[in-house]
């Protein structure tokens, strides 16, 4: 994707989330599926990517120093791989249709939003009406997941890693034409 396409795709995803376009479950799915590939294409391998992985590695190293001898022997890369795979499974559950809950259980009922359906506090509030009288805001849980999946998916391994990497790669190719179609940028 070109820098223009990355910007247009990320901007469109942010606007869909911020302006609350459509029902919560569809809006979150669309914003995630447009934003995550844009983040991957724009920031994978960047200084922000390296800083995030270094920060996670530092946290894992600090946890390993807690005195548990078994935990101290684990590889930091393996721990990050497992955490990234767990996040990928969670995101799969959030993106899965709720009607799949008869097969997937409560995983398919997970959302990026709180129980009430409102976005968690912490997004940039802006004056203006929104359902329930709240100001417009971004969904921080959605964007944290999109960012972390985008930059850590290549660290995952095993069957979950293969599925996650393949899905992210396919999704990036599928949405790559959207900026040209919507905004005429390439």
Q: Are the CB atoms for 181 and 6 separated by under 8 Å?
A: no
Q: How far is CA 57 from CA 46, 78, 154, 161, in A?
A: 17, 10, 15, 19
Distance CA 7, CA 156 (A): 27
| Kind plus residue range of the DSSP H or E element containing 51 | helix 47-64
Helix, coil or strand: residue 152? helix
Residue 116 clears pLDDT 60, i.e. is over it = no
Of 77-81, 159-163, 182-186, the one with minimum mean pLDDT is 182-186
Q: Which residues contact 134 (CB under 8 A, 6 or more apart)?
A: 118, 125
How does pLDDT run across 133-165, given as a tens digit for each residue?
466 788 899 999 999 999 999 999 899 999 999
161's tokens: 């890693």
CA 165 to centroid of chain Cα atoms: 13
How does pLDDT run across 29-76, given as a tens digit for each residue?
999 999 999 999 999 889 999 999 999 999 999 988 887 778 788 898
Q: Which residues contact 168 (CB under 8 A, 6 or more apart)?
A: 36, 37, 40, 149, 150, 153
Helix, coil or strand: residue 126? strand
**What average pLDDT does range 110-116 have in this prediction?**
72
């Amino acid at each position: 994707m070109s820098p223009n396409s990355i910007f247009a795709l990320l901007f469109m995803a942010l606007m869909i989330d911020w302006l609350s376009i459509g029902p919560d479950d569809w809006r979150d799915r669309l914003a995630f599926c447009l934003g995550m590939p844009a983040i991957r294409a724009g920031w994978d391998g960047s200084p922000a990517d390296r800083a995030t992985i270094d920060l996670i590695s530092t946290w894992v190293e600090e946890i390993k120093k807690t005195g548990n001898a078994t935990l101290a022997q684990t590889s930091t890369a393996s721990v990050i791989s497992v955490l990234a795979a767990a996040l990928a499974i969670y995101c799969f559950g959030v993106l899965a249709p709720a009607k799949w809950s008869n097969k997937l259980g409560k995983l398919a009922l997970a959302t990026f939003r709180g129980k009430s359906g409102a976005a968690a506090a912490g997004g940039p509030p802006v004056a203006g009406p929104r359902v329930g009288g709240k100001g417009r805001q971004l969904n921080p849980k959605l964007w944290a997941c999109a960012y972390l999946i985008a930059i850590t998916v290549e660290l995952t391994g095993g069957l979950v890693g293969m599925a996650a990497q393949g899905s992210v790669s396919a999704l990036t190719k599928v949405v790559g034409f959207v900026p040209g179609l919507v905004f005429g940028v390439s």
